[in-house]
Amino acid sequence: MAPKSDSTEGIVLNFVNEQNKPLNSQIVADCLQKFNLKKGAIQKALDTLVDSGKISFKEYGKQKIYLARQDQFDIPNGEELNQIKEENIKLQEELDGQRKAISAVEGEIKALQSNLTLEEVHKKEAKIRKEVKDMEEKLTKLKEGVTLVNPEERKAVEGMYFETVNQWRRRKRMFKDIWDAITENSPKDLKEFKEELGIEYDEDVGVSLQSFIDLRQQGKKRARGL
């Protein structure tokens, strides 16, 4: 007589049959903790199931290994196994196809979500139109010769520019005087010495003091011509 499914023996028997692989009592006890079964009760149930022929077991030294009875399972023959393999391959191909279809749909959803709503389009259009209008008004003023920078601001910027160029020229002269004094009797190669100290000339970084001086002179000429 088969044990009741809700009894300890029934729970253990169902688990062993479902697993259908070699198990020891500790593994069974660990896996059936959700049923609040103690290891002693599980061991007793395993022994009872063995005695009644419901499961089989083998001994490896002091270790007992339990296994579901194989005669209760329908074991497929070679032809059935090949059919199962073919069905498995077909199902796997269908699964891959479904995954690709899902991926394509997810891509379309992301693309749609990244698009602007109609309300957002109207807002962006209004913003761009305003920017275009402001730039057109500014362009019109420039064409008409309207000065967009007042004289005070222009004078302040020019003063800052002139002072910066003057400071640059003074510091460049100071460096040259110090450098010439240090290297006057130095036996070292000046290029190697400069690289050793990590010194860079204006030309090394693509700038020229003279170009800024010339720009300043051009600005003065334009100012006199106004």
Residue 40 has pLDDT above 80, yes or no: yes
pTM of the model: 0.36
Strand pairing category for 55-60 and 63-68: antiparallel
- In the chain, the number of structural domains is 3
At 12 the pLDDT is 92
Residues 85 and 59 in one domain: no
Residue 48 has pLDDT above 90, yes or no: yes
127-169 residue pLDDT tens: 989 998 888 888 777 777 666 667 788 788 888 888 888 888 8
State the CATH number of the domain containing residue 20: 1.10.10.10
How high is the mean pLDDT of the chain? Answer: 83
Distance CA(12)–CA(32), nearest Å, equals 8
Measured distance between the N- and C-terminal CA atoms of the chain, rounded to whole angstroms: 117
Residues 155 and 213 in one domain: yes
Residues 210 and 158 in one domain: yes
Q: Where are the beta strands (DSSP E) in 62-192?
A: 63-68
Residue 212 lies in a domain: yes
At 145 the pLDDT is 66
Quote the tokens at residue 143: 């064409």
Residue 78 lies in a domain: yes
Residue 129 lies in a domain: no
At 223 the pLDDT is 54
Residues 61 and 79 in one domain: no
Q: What's the pLDDT band for 220 if we cut at 50, 70, 90?
A: low
CB 23 within 8 A of CB 16: yes
Residues 54 and 101 in one domain: no
165-187 residue pLDDT tens: 888 889 889 988 888 888 888 88
Distance CA(63)–CA(24), nearest Å, equals 8
Q: What's the pLDDT band for 55 if we cut at 50, 70, 90?
A: very high
Distance CA(135)–CA(150), nearest Å, equals 19
Buried/exposed 116-139: b ≥16 CB within 10 Å, e otherwise: eeeeeeeeeeeeeeeeeeeeeeee
Distance CA(87)–CA(45), nearest Å, equals 39
Backbone torsion region of residue 198, taken as left when φ is above 0, otherwise alpha when ψ lies between -120 and 50, otherwise beta? left
Residue 164 lies in a domain: yes
Residues 49 and 90 in one domain: no
Residue 32 lies in a domain: yes
Domain that holds residue 176: 151-217
